[in-house]
């Protein structure tokens, strides 16, 4: 039994067809049949049965399937690690990030990755979310990371969900709202909302998730996350950002998280993005695997 046999088993289990599997693995149908017979001989059981001209797993085949998946995934991981140790020297990994992941999530990840692969240069390009989408679509960067309430709806992009990114409303400790145990939606929409840019997905998300319709005159776009926090600390308005973005300000007591009386789901997701027609290079795959394991 070898890895090629296990890969063939996995293909047949997914395709329900020896013919399609042979085509995908660039071998004859007879070769597929021989590999499956050798696997059945090894385990001394029948792994497949025919059902209306379709191949399906027997009970024993279903028992074997997750173990085969684990073995192949482990071997792929080993191949990447060995390749990385031998071939990542003097390589450069470039990716685009929206503000929250680029500023508050990836710096420690990059530090840990660089400690493991010190000869690799990692370039983190932080920009607006829409620019990340556009740059991945235009293949300016092979890999991107964004924080969004919903999966990106772009046909040319593939995405992987990595982690939750909870959002919180917050205000200056000098703002009267900070003295309330709970605030209502009416309390919020009467305030000036500081946001990073006019295309911010947060505002649209608030409208869909909780019917929070801030008057346009009450929304100020001021450039970036740090500017939002500075304006809120100076009591020029309220903000809504990732909980990760306001850890320092909360620690030093210059802002107060606003607890909502009304139940609203204010959680986004961190997604990894890449172009469906541009497979990731092995260095990029190694980095993405590192990110997923770190998170």
pLDDT in tens, 78-132: 887 787 777 777 789 999 999 999 999 999 999 999 999 888 899 999 998 889 9
Domain count, the chain: 3
Residue 199 to residue 204: CA distance in whole angstroms:
9
CA gyration radius, the chain? 25
Residue 284 to residue 20: CA distance in whole angstroms:
30
The SS3 of residue 244 is helix
Residues 6+ apart with CB under 8 A from 100: 147, 165, 225, 241, 242, 244, 245, 270
Domain extent for 174: 165-267
Q: What is the mean pLDDT of residues 54-61?
A: 93
Q: Which residues pair with 260 in a beta bridge?
A: 183
pLDDT in tens, 234-285: 999 999 999 999 999 999 999 999 998 877 778 889 999 999 998 898 889 8
What pLDDT shows up at residue 132? 95
Residue 84 to residue 93: CA distance in whole angstroms:
12
The yes-or-no verdict on residue 179 having pLDDT over 90 is yes
Same domain flag for 75 and 212: no
Name the DSSP letter for residue 104: I
pLDDT in tens, 142-151: 999 999 888 7
What pLDDT shows up at residue 58? 95
Same domain flag for 79 and 67: yes
Residues in the chain: 295
Q: What are phi and psi of 2, to 5 degrees?
A: -135, 175
Domain boundary among 87, 104, 126: 87
**Residue 31 corresponds to which tokens in the numbers above?**
């070769």
Share in percent of the chain as helix, strand, coil (round to 5): 50, 25, 30
Q: Are 226 and 249 in contact, with CB atoms under 8 Å apart?
A: no
Please calculate the CA angle 265-271-272 and round it to the nearest 5 degrees: 175
* Cα–Cα distances in angstroms (integers) from residue 266 to residues 26, 36, 86, 198, in the given order: 48, 50, 44, 19
What pLDDT shows up at residue 211? 65
What pLDDT shows up at residue 85? 74
Which of 272, 237, 265 lies closest to 101, judged by CA?
272
The SS3 of residue 262 is coil
Same domain flag for 178 and 258: yes
Same domain flag for 237 and 171: yes
What pLDDT shows up at residue 209? 66
Residues 6+ apart with CB under 8 A from 269: 147, 148, 149, 151, 161, 162, 163, 164, 165
Q: What is the mean pLDDT of residues 151-159?
A: 87
Does pTM top 0.85 for this prediction?
Answer: no
Same domain flag for 159 and 170: no
What pLDDT shows up at residue 76? 85
Same domain flag for 180 and 227: yes
Q: Are 116 and 122 in contact, with CB atoms under 8 Å apart?
A: no
The yes-or-no verdict on residue 201 having pLDDT over 90 is no
What pLDDT shows up at residue 210? 58
Same domain flag for 252 and 197: yes
Same domain flag for 18 and 76: yes
Same domain flag for 142 and 287: yes
The CATH number of residue 10's host domain is 1.10.10.10
Q: Are 189 and 215 in contact, with CB atoms under 8 Å apart?
A: yes
Percentage above 90 pLDDT, the chain: 67
Same domain flag for 78 and 216: no
Q: What is the mean pLDDT of residues 195-213?
A: 73
Domain boundary among 50, 72, 87: 87
Same domain flag for 276 and 156: yes
The CATH number of residue 139's host domain is 3.40.190.10
Phi-psi group of 138: left, alpha or beta (phi > 0 → left; psi -120 to 50 → alpha; rest → beta): alpha
Same domain flag for 150 and 97: yes
Domain boundary among 61, 87, 113: 87
């Amino acid at each position: 039994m070898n890895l090629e046999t296990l890969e063939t088993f996995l293909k047949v289990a997914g395709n329900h067809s020896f013919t399609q599997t042979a085509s995908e693995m660039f071998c004859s149908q007879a070769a597929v049949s021989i590999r499956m017979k050798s696997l059945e001989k090894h385990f001394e059981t029948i792994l497949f049965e025919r059902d209306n001209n379709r191949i399906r797993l027997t009970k024993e085949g279903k028992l074997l399937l997750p173990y085969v998946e684990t073995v192949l995934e482990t071997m792929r991981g080993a191949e990447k690690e060995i390749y990385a140790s031998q071939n990542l020297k003097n390589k450069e990994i470039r990716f685009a990030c929206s503000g929250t992941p680029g500023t508050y999530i990836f710096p420690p990840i990059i530090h840990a990755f660089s400690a493991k692969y010190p000869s690799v240069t990692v370039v983190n390009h932080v920009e607006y979310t829409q620019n990340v989408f556009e740059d991945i679509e235009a293949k300016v960067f092979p890999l991107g990371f964004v924080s969004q309430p919903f999966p990106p709806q772009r046909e040319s992009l593939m995405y992987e969900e990595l982690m939750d990114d909870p959002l919180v409303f917050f205000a200056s400790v000098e703002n009267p709202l900070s003295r309330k145990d709970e605030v209502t939606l009416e309390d919020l929409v009467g305030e000036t909302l500081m946001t990073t840019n006019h295309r911010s997905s947060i505002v649209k998300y608030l409208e869909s998730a909780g019917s929070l319709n801030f008057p346009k005159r009450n929304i100020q776009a001021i450039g970036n996350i740090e500017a939002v926090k500075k304006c809120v600390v100076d009591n020029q308005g309220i903000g809504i950002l990732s909980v990760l973005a306001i850890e320092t300000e909360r620690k030093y007591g210059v802002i107060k998280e606003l607890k909502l009386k009304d139940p609203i789901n204010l959680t986004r997701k961190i997604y990894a993005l890449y172009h469906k027609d541009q497979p990731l290079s092995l260095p990029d795959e190694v980095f993405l695997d590192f990110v997923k394991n770190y998170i």
